[in-house]
A and B are shown apart, each in its own frame.
Chain A
Amino acid sequence: MLELTDLSVHYGTVAAVDSVSVTVAEGEIVAIIGPNGAGKTSTLRALSGLVRPSGGRVMFRGTDISRWRPHRIVALGLSHAPEGRRLFPQMTVLENLRMGAYRRRDRDAVARTLGEVLERFPRLAERRHQPAGTLSGGEQQMLTIGRALMSGPAMLILDEPSFGLAPLLVREIRAIVQSINRERGVAVLLVEQNARMALAVAGRAYVMETGRIVLSGSAAMLRESPHVKAAYLGG
């Protein structure tokens, strides 16, 4: 469904992403783990069109989207919940969710999706008229995911959904990601520093360090890898 081939991203002369190849199949959850500054977020920004790749190719649902601008990629069914939540703080919860459906013209369908999202996130339903900037960290993360679902995506990109959250909330997010994947068949590409959480939820995973993929395989296999154990799972 998604196929990155030799993707590179340069900021000036510095390569942030260096010939990275990643695939995600229909209905799959795939994780990219790695330390801060490994180029994970840059990879995601390149594939959703926020930065232009300096080399390589991004194929999504059989279309080459390497040079596309973000709004067209969203329309194709790829929804990106960015790092740091990036909500519209002065808009209400409801307005934020409606922004997620910005490209959809079918009002009835949007209303249905909105109902589903509010059902999935009862806390957001309670606070629907509150400005997003006043929500707690966990609520903001839920709103970010909810907003990404509003476009009715075929694939979801989640960048550090567990960042800064208490363990209890991390577990909640994990459950939500799994249920979205299971119930709606939405493929998920998950980027995480929290390798334990990522490897628990994903079927396959890639390990990214200093702009390159250094290791990849099934989540079960990576959990046993001495390198992953030492570097990411705390021995």
Chain B
Amino acid sequence: MRIRASIAAVVIAPLAAVVGTVVMGGAQDKTLSIGVLGPLSGGAASYGVELVRGAEMKADEINKAGGLKVGADTYRIKLVSYDHKALAADAATAANKLVFQDKVKYIIGNAVGATCNAVQTVTEPEKVLFSFVCWGTNNLGPDKPHSFRVMLSQWEVAEPFYRWVKEKHPQIKRVAAISPNDTSGKDTNTAVVKALKALGFEVAADEYYERGTKDFYPILTKILAAKPDMLDVAAAPAGEGGLILKQARELGFKGAKGWTAGTNPFTIIGVAGKDAAEGVWSPANINVRSDFVSATVRRFGAEYEKRYNEVPGVIAVANYAAFDVITKAMQEARSLDTDKVLAALTQKPFETVWGRLVIGGKETYGIDRQFLYPVVISEVRDGKVVDIAQVLPTALKK
């Protein structure tokens, strides 16, 4: 008896302590834990780092202003982030930890396509609201009602981008697209080709290369033989896209250049060289210092730079906006219940750093779960990235 009693004491004492703190905490301020996932190490680390920083910026803003008022309660926001190294298996483990151990109901932020699919196997059955910047058509759908994409993908970007090309550069008739030979490459080329056909361009080439290719002479010889007016290195990452542009120039290509899926044109200039990168258009980029972005974005950019000593890329801005939109929806719904927040999210437009933001995409994905906002097209001029136009995704115009 005595032994059993002492065991009970050992177990109960810490338990009581834990319960006590929770109760005491509740008396003052409630805590809302929000998960952030992403590759924080390895080759894609820059994506994850931007996701976390974008989230931190918004969370700190809210906490400094006294917390998030949802209905009668006020919550302090606490971020819980895990590194999945861009590996699907690690992503599933991290999602399990967030949902079942940290009891998180919101995961705002994740990147790299395959890891998104892995996380969704955990979040969808648990009705955890999950937002990400992963590309790929299969991350959104009616079977995944709790999933949102908070950054424009090739499906939203290709059409307005090429509409702009058609209006401003009518001499461009034939366009060649080249992407890596995998799902994200296929997705991007398909989106580009669809936009090209809808707008009356000729598709000069729709080509794929193996990731890791260095010598693009063979494939470029074939592409250039089709005499394209414009070459789109669609979903190529900066390293490979840069080599393609450099080698295309060496093979005598003098036409226009695009990078539909390019998120950061600075990187491609380094690889391609100033001359070969000259004139590259990229529609998915954001330049927080340019005149084309709102004062809010410029302010965000300046603060981000002060805090992290780096210029934020499009992913940081996207996740900052996602935090903004989702917390606003919580306030609208006056609840933290994900289904109620979900309903609030899709009801009306939000004013964000992007400007006016709508959640749509039903015509592409069968469900309105894609963040839509104005696209900024930038051009490489004399080794610098200059924003030259702002266009609207089709769905946003309505």
Asked if A and B touch directly (CB within 8 angstroms), the answer is: no
